[in-house]
Every structure is written in structure tokens, then in C-alpha cells.
Amino acid sequence: MRYAHEVDKVRTAERALMARLPEGTLMRRAAAGLAAVCARLLSSGREVGLGVYGAPIVLLVGSGDNGGDALYAGAGLARRGARVTAILAGAKTHEGGLAALRAVGGRAVPATDEAGAAAEIDRADLIVDGMLGIGGRGGLREPYASLAVRAADSGAVVVACDLPSGIDASTGQVDGPAVQADVTVTFGTYKPGLLVDPGARHAGVVELVDIGLGPYLPDPDVCAPRGDDVAAWLPRPTHESDKYRRGVVGVLAGGEAFTGAAVLAVGGAVHGGAGMVRFASSEHPVELVRQRWPEAVTTVIGDSLDQVGRVQAWVAGPGLGTDERAEALLAQVLATDLPVLVDADGLTILSRRRDLLWRTPPTLLTPHAGELARLLGTDAAEVEARRLEHVRRAAEELNATVLLKGSTTVIAEAERPVRVNPTGTPWLATAGTGDVLSGLTGTLLAGGLPAIDAAAAGAYLHGLAGRLSADPNGAGAAPISAYDVVDALPAAFRTLSA
Ligand SMILES: NC(=O)C1=CN([C@@H]2O[C@H](COP(=O)(O)OP(=O)(O)OC[C@H]3O[C@@H](n4cnc5c(N)ncnc54)[C@H](OP(=O)(O)O)[C@@H]3O)[C@@H](O)[C@H]2O)[C@@H](O)CC1
Ligand SMILES: [K+]
């Protein structure tokens, strides 16, 4: 698991640790870690390739300690022969850091010398962004904003110190221009804004430098599972397992108007490891599901689910429609004492029938931004800009575990750290992939996983399957269909048992 903490918690932990250490120790640790990553990039061949000696490096230096870190790291690189120039962009500059850089032959140029600063940036092999770290608030002011744009246009490798300047450390919100980093070297703990879009998109590869903060940090606000975590949550069939013990998932999906969603949701369930899938719908979707998935046990239903047989969890909503019949069926599912995953049309129904959510067994909602906006009475752009805030609010207000789909999928449950999914590909943004996710994740619920683990494991495997189908041999990605994702699910599971 990668753990992330909001700014207040980082500052409190830093104060506690600093009280036990000689002054400046933490900054020296941070700067040493940052310099080591820069040196590695300069020497790695693939990124820049010329080594540290003689490499033109630019430091973008703001007024605070983030600039101090960059200056000390720059001094370390200058000591190894790099040609380091600091562009001083703040109203003041960290004095110790600047003195250290100058002492080893580094230069400084004020950002007010626009032509001089621009020429340095254009010549650089590597740029260290030390403008703002956890002290940043709101959109970048000048000259930071222009420097961020210039750095992005320069072709140099950009390394962000602690955070790319312009992203909110605690939320990932970005207002206006922000530094686009290739690598972010962050200190002590991950910050939520590095894991959640839009901030995560600016961070590139994130490397954590241990500065000894661990024992002083409280519970995380956000965490991102790794493959090992997901592997440990997944139920594995044993010799004693029969189909009932592995989990029977009920899928209530599809209608006369929309049939594809049902076929895809059942596909997600079949390839998601269900012991058995029971599919309940009207005639036409049942016919199609039987053709495509003979493994599923199907029941043509009218207004009642009484004939469907026992299941251990339900998936309700994909292609179901939103009319009175659909509402009554959804109400029946939610009246059971079983875990229920609600998606798509089911969510539209819930936005007018929030009372259906006042139940005790686990409920997992899997909206995209538009669906969540409707559930919360806001608009999709608001949700996209502040995904963490909205997913947390939804979990609290809706009495449910909420998986918000999108460029970074985030999962919230009351009083738990938000889970961020690290897998996925932009190619997954295509019709029907959400239906696959709901079938897969509902199956994990039926297999006995707690809702938050089922959601996190489902998102992880779905994202991995998306990547594997878009780029199966690492030769470059291509468009995929939702069916491809279904087909790639076994391969995604396999990577976890490797
Ligand atoms: N604490 C520790 O032990 C350790 C800390 N470490 C390092 O310190 C960093 C935090 O340093 P920090 O607190 O000095 O804040 P920092 O991010 O440099 O910002 C400075 C100033 O920028 C300004 N400003 C704000 N928003 C702005 C905007 N939108 N556009 C333009 N300007 C803006 C604002 O000044 P104002 O304008 O309000 O006067 C603010 O005060 C941390 O990220 C890590 O790198 C490590 O060394 C490990 C040990
Ligand atoms: K920075």
C-alpha cells in the first residue's frame, strides 16, 4: 500500500520529528534524496544520458523551504560537476540554500531577468521545480505560472521537488498552469494530490524519499493498493470449494431497450471468478446472455425476483432502464440482507429514491462523475475538479461505499482512508467498460470481500485488464472494446499470482 497524508498531518509530524533533530537535518535529508534521483536520471542514458559532470541544470526556486530543498540539491549536483543555475522566482530566497549553491560554483539569475531565465531553461538538460511544495495555495501566481509553462516547453527532464508546483497537495486540484513533471521526488509520505487526478497527471513517476517521518505520521487520508495487497484480498478457490462457496452473484441488468450492458456485466462476473452467475432480466437480454454466456443461469422475470434462486450478492442497474418496473426491482434487491452493487440506471433511480439506501448490509455504488453529480445535486465539472471531496461526501451522505470511476478511480467508505486505484489506461474510457467493472466487482462481493476491498480489487483488476488488452506486448497501445477487457481479465488475475 502507498499511504498519503494531507498537509496538516505532514506539518504536525515534521514538527514532532524536527524537535528531536539538529536544525536543518530534514532539509538535508530531503535534498540528498532529490539530488540522488536527479543524478540517476542524468546518468541513466534513457532520460538524458550524459551523466552529472557538465550537465546544464536549472533550479526554479520559490520563496519557501521547497526552494531551499532545490538549492541544497543543486549544490550537491554542482559539487559533482554539474553546471547549475538557480532562477530566483520568489520575493525572498532560502539564504542557506543559496549560499551553499554559490559556494560550489552555482549561479543565480532573478526571474525578473526574463530573457536570461528563458535562455537558461531552454539550455537545460534537467529542471528542478522548487517553486512550491506543501505551502502552495490556489493557482500559480507570476512569475511561477510562466516558468511552469516555459519548463514544459523546454524538452528538459522536469523533476518536481515534493510536488509539482500548482497542484494542491491535499486534494490534487489544479487551477490554471501547473508544472508538468516527469518525476516527482516527494518527502516523508505521499501527498493525496500526487495520487488523484488532475494532480496525479502532473506528477509523472513519483518517488518517495524517507526522511524519518514514518513513526510520527497518523493514519493516512488516502492510500493506493499495490498488486500484493490485491492478491492478499482475493478469494482463492481451494479443493474444498464448490460453486456456492466461491460465491453466487445475481445480476439484475438489461431490458428490451439495452441488452449489451447485461452481456458485458455477466461477462465481467464470469471472468471475475464467480462460482455461479444468476442472471435475471426480461426475455430478449436473457436470450442474448444465454447465447454468449452459457455458464450463466438465467431467469426471465416479470416484476418479481422470487424465481431467481439464492445469491450471495447482487449487481443491479446496467441497462436496466429507469421506469417504475426497474425501480420496483431495484427496491427488491436493496430490501434483501445481501451486499448490493448499484450501477448505471440503478444510480439514476437512486438519485430520486435515496431512501432506498437506508439499509444495513453493504451497498456499493459505482458512479462516474455525471452520475455522482446527480446523486449529490451538483455538476460533473465540480466532481471532476475535486474528486476526493465529492467521493468522501457521497460515502457519508449516501450510507454506502462509493467507487467514483474516471481518470483516477477513487473509493470511499465512511471513516476509512480513500482508496485510489493505480491501474488503468485512458483507452478504458469507452462504452461498456463500466458494465464489466460492475459484474467483476459484484462477483468479488459475492466471494465475501468487504465492500471497500471488493471495490479496490475490482478497479485494480479492471484497470490492469484494460492495460493488458490495449497494449498486450508493450509495443504501444491501441483502442479496445469492453469485450476485450472481459477477455483480458484472466490474464490480469494471473499477474497477481505470478
Ligand atoms: N517542514 C519541513 O520540515 C520540511 C519541509 N520540506 C520542504 O519544505 C516545503 C514546504 O515549505 P514551505 O512551508 O516554506 O512552503 P512552500 O511550499 O515552499 O511555499 C512557500 C511560499 O509560497 C507562496 N505561495 C503559496 N501559494 C502560492 C501560489 N499559488 N503562487 C505563488 N506563490 C505561492 C507562499 O508565500 P506568500 O506568497 O503567501 O508569502 C508560501 O509561503 C515542502 O514541500 C518540502 O519541499 C523538506 O525540506 C522536508 C522538511
Ligand atoms: K515543487
Ligand 2: centre distance to CA 135 (Å):
10
pLDDT of residue 238: 76
Cross-strand pairs, 87: 60, 109
**Predicted-complex ipTM score:** 0.98
R_g (Cα) of the chain, nearest Å: 26
**What's the gap in Å between 130 CA and the centre of ligand 1?**
9
Could you give the CA distance from residue 2 to residue 288 in angstroms, rounded to a whole number?
Answer: 42
Which residue's alpha carbon is at the smallest distance from atom 3 of ligand 1? 14
pLDDT of residue 474: 82
Q: Which residues are annotated as a binding site?
A: 65-69, 129, 133-139, 144, 162, 165, 261, 319, 368, 405-409, 434-435
Q: Which residues are annotated as a binding site for K(+)?
A: 66, 129, 165
Strands 2-4 and 56-61: unpaired
Residue owning the nearest CA to atom 40 of ligand 1: 135
How remote is the CA of residue 193 from the centroid of ligand 1, in Å? Answer: 15
Q: Whose Cα sits closest to atom 44 in ligand 1?
A: 66
Please report, for the chain, the start and end positions of each structural domain, with discontinuous segments joined by +: 2-224, 227-239+321-497
**Site to substitute for ligand 1 among 5, 65, 168, 191, most atoms within 8 A of C-beta:** 65
Cα–Cα distance, 444 to 463 (Å, whole number): 15
Q: Which atom of ligand 1 is nearest to the CA of 67?
A: 18
CA–CA separation, 85 and 109 (whole Å): 7
pLDDT value of position 266: 98
Q: Amino acid letter at 381?
A: A
Task: Provide the residue type at 190 as one letter.
Answer: Y
Q: In the CATH hierarchy, which top-level class contains the domain 227-239+321-497?
A: alpha beta
| Distance, first Cα to last Cα, the chain | 18
Residue 288: name the closest of 258, 317, 313 by CA: 258
Distance 391 CA to ligand 2 centre (A): 27
For residue 168, give the C-alpha cell.
494542491
- Give me the DSSP letters along 238-272: -TT--HHHH-EEEEE---SS--HHHHHHHHHHHTT
H/E stretch holding 460 reads helix 451-470
In this structure, the residues whose C-beta lies within 6 A of any atom of ligand 1 are 14, 18, 26-27, 30, 62-67, 69, 132-141, 144, 161-162, 187, 211
Q: Residues marked as binding for (6S)-NADPHX?
A: 65-69, 133-139, 144, 162, 261, 319, 368, 435
Q: What is the pTM of this model?
A: 0.93
What is the predicted pLDDT for the residue at 236? Answer: 79
Give the SS3 label for residue 407. Answer: coil
Mean per-residue pLDDT pooled into runs of 10, the chain (498 residues):
97 96 96 97 71 95 98 98 98 98 98 96 97 97 97 96 98 96 98 95 97 97 97 83 82 90 97 95 96 97 94 97 97 98 98 97 98 97 94 97 95 97 91 96 97 98 96 87 96 89
- In single-letter form, the type of residue at position 470 comes to A
Ligand 1 pocket test: which of 63, 94, 174 has the largest number of ligand atoms within 8 Å of its C-beta?
Answer: 63
Tell me the CATH architecture of domain 2-224.
3-Layer(aba) Sandwich (3.40)
